[in-house]
Every structure is written in structure tokens, then in C-alpha cells.
Amino acid sequence: MKISDIFQTKKTVFSLEVFPPKKTSKIDTIYDTIERLSDLNPDFISVTYGAGGTGTGSLTAKIASDLKNIYHIEPLAHLTAIHTTRQQATDILTELRENGIENVLALRGDLHPDLPIPGDFKYASDLTKFIADFGGFDICGACYPEGHPESEDVISDVTNTRPKVDAGATHLISQLFFDNNDFYAFQDRAKLAGINVPIEAGIMPVINKAQIERMVSTCGASLPRKFAHMVSRYENDPEALFDAGIAYAVDQIIDLIASGVDGIHLYTMNNPRVAHLIYTRIRKVLEASNKA
Ligand code: FAD
């Protein structure tokens, strides 16, 4: 099923993200995770592509295919462009198509100093156009409520997001953020920039201190006062920080759903326990939104 069709039938889409296990881990670990995530009845699950230079790109197609054919969950396969040639993209899209996968998240990808840059794709919009010309896929793009770290400012960032939609993206998923006002301001800017596709809010539950430090250094998310207070108050009490982190994510999600967000995309970090704890607390709100 194409994800754009899901947006036609649901007021608030609920989706999850998983990543392939590292090369040194057993592939089976991801299937335990998916098995448990399937209880949450997600509208789709996205599978990252070689994130962080882990070289797990080939697993993305396999996991996406198994999601579809074994677990009967709609997959969204991520694909990055900057270190990929047109021939490689063709091979991957062919494999995805042969496995019945209908949805691709087209990304530029992060720049890895050790990897060559073939120059076939400069921006995500170039890959989006390539996939649209290839045909047969619904295409999704990434967006950044606080602006992409390489962007000069939030205005040029949203202006640079528009070409993805013009090239064929029918839906956007946001980077994680901790202040919903950043997301609402982005929605307003996107509308002004003529972006009229559904935008899912990316939510990352933070449950330990190391994760918070990593998030801030890799994606530059700012920490609102409420969040910073939570971290400084509970950083030396892992159980309290875990509970507070879950509550914070739940609070963000309920506010977003009540405000009419198109969808919630939960970055699960392959942690089904956390995803379950959150889902249990938002299920009724999600159901009520989709009944209304
Ligand atoms: P782009 O949209 O190309 O933007 C990159 C930069 O270029 C931005 O600063 C943008 O403003 C600028 N830009 C874009 N177009 C133009 C233009 N025409 N002229 C001038 N400037 C322009 N990374 C992975 O490696 N694997 C994954 O699986 C993965 N999944 C992700 C999922 C989501 C939902 C998100 C939000 C990010 C994900 N990332 C992943 C990270 C992503 O690859 C990085 O954030 C990357 O640096 C930018 O990718 P993009 O597709 O947003 O790039």
C-alpha cells in the first residue's frame, strides 16, 4: 500500500522507525524487535539506510521486504544519495520493487569523510526526482523543525525543502525536536512556502543521559527549559530519568495530536519496551483522533 493512501483514510497516522542491526550483531535481533512492535499496529515502519556510516545499506531492503511479506506491515525503506551512484540507486530500487516495496524515504544522507562522493546526487531532491522518474514508489522526504544544521537559517531551510515536494515527495517526516512550538512554527513556514503535503512529527523518547548528549551533538536539537530541568534533576537517577523521559515524549505526542498533527513518527531506537510504554499511554488519544 502506498503511504499517501494511508493519509487519505487516517486523520493521525502512527508510524515507527527501526534501524538494521550493526554488522557485528545478529540479524535475528531485529526480528524480535519487529515482532514486539507489531503489537502496536503501526500504519508503517520505516527502516533506516546505513545511518551513521554503519554500512548496513543492503540490510534495509531485506528488512523492509520481511516487514511486508512476513509481518504484513507496510515498510518505508530509507535510501541516501550523497555516496550513491545512479547505478547503485537503480539496483536498490529494482530490488525494492521486486520485493513489493512501494514507499521510499529519499535522503541526501550525512557526509562521511571516508566515503567517495560520486556526484550523481547533490541533494535529496535530486534523488526524489530520480525515484519519481524510475516510477512505482511513493516518496517521502525529511524536514527539520529547527532547520537542518547546514542551513543558514530556518527560512532558507524551508525554501530548500520545497524542491523535494516539487520533485515528487508526497509526505514529510520531521527530525526529532523537544519543543512542540518549533514544530508548529515549521508547519506555518512550510505552508507559506507552498508545502501542502502531510508532515509527520518525529518524536524521540530520551531515556538516558548518554542518548541526550548524542542527540544534541548529532542533530543540534535545542533543549527547552522544561526538558533541561528534567535532565539536570534526574541525570544521576537512571530509573527516574527513564520514567520522566517517557512522560515527556507522551506529553509532546498528546499535545501534537490535539493540535491536529498529520502523524506521529516514533524513533524507537529498536527498543520495543519504550515504544510499548508510550503507545499504551497514547492509544486512546490516537483512536479518538481517528474516530473524530
Ligand atoms: P537535503 O534535503 O538535501 O538537505 C541537506 C542540506 O542541503 C540542507 O541544509 C538543505 O537546506 C540544503 N539544500 C537542500 N536543497 C538545496 C538546494 N537546492 N540549494 C541549496 N541548499 C539546499 N541519514 C542516513 O544516513 N540514513 C537514514 O536512514 C536517515 N534517515 C533519516 C530520517 C529522517 C526522518 C531524518 C529527518 C533524517 C534522516 N537521516 C538519515 C539524516 C539525513 O540524511 C541528514 O540529516 C542529512 O544531513 C540531510 O538529509 P536530507 O535528505 O534532509 O538532505
Q: What is the pLDDT of residues 192-245, one digit of tens each?
A: 999 999 999 999 999 998 888 788 778 778 889 999 999 999 999 999 999 999
CA-CA-CA-CA dihedral for 67, 65, 128, 201, to nearest 10: 10
Nine-digit cell at 97?
520493487
First to last CA, the chain: 24
pLDDT at position 25 is 77
Q: What is the mean pLDDT of residues 187-194?
A: 98
Share of the chain above pLDDT 70, in %: 98
- Whose CA is closest to atom 6 on ligand 1? 150
Extended strands (E) in 67-137: 75-80, 103-107
Q: Which residues contact 130 (CB under 8 A, 6 or more apart)?
A: 86, 89, 121
Within 10 angstroms of residue 239's Cβ, the number of other Cβ atoms is 8
Domain count across the chain:
1
Nine-digit cell at 196?
501542502
pLDDT at position 19 is 95
Give the distance (Å) from ligand 1 centre to CA of residue 86.
Answer: 18
Predicted ipTM beyond 0.95: yes
Q: What is the mean pLDDT of residues 112-128?
A: 95
Q: Which residues is 75 bridged to in the sheet?
A: 45
CA of 159, closest atom in ligand 1:
11
Give the distance (Å) from ligand 1 centre to CA of residue 80.
Answer: 9
- Whose CA is closest to atom 51 on ligand 1? 107
Which mutation among 127, 154, 158, 160 tests ligand 1's pocket best, with the greatest number of atoms within 8 A of CB?
160
Tell me which residue of 228, 211, 230 sits closest to 219, measured CA to CA: 211
Q: What is the mean pLDDT of residues 20-34?
A: 87
pLDDT at position 209 is 86
State the CATH number of the domain containing residue 68: 3.20.20.220
Within 10 angstroms of residue 150's Cβ, the number of other Cβ atoms is 11
Give the distance (Å) from ligand 1 centre to CA of residue 109.
Answer: 6
Confidence band for 56, pLDDT divided at 50, 70 and 90: low
Q: Which residues contact 274 (CB under 8 A, 6 or more apart)?
A: 205, 207, 246, 268
When computed from its CA atoms, the radius of gyration of the chain, rounded to whole angstroms, is 18
Tell me which residue of 171, 176, 151 sits closest to 106, measured CA to CA: 171
Give the distance (Å) from ligand 1 centre to CA of residue 243.
Answer: 32
What 3-state class would DSSP assign to 200? strand
The answer to which of 33-42, 59-68, 204-213 has the lowest mean pLDDT is 204-213
For residue 129, pLDDT over 60 is answered with: yes
For residue 122, pLDDT over 80 is answered with: yes
What is the domain extent for residue 283?
3-291
84 within ligand 1 shell (Cβ under 6 A): no
Confidence band for 51, pLDDT divided at 50, 70 and 90: very low
Share of the chain above pLDDT 90, in %: 87
Helix (H) or strand (E) holding 44: strand 44-47
pLDDT at position 52 is 45
Q: What is the mean pLDDT of residues 48-61?
A: 72
For residue 15, pLDDT over 50 is answered with: yes
pLDDT at position 141 is 98
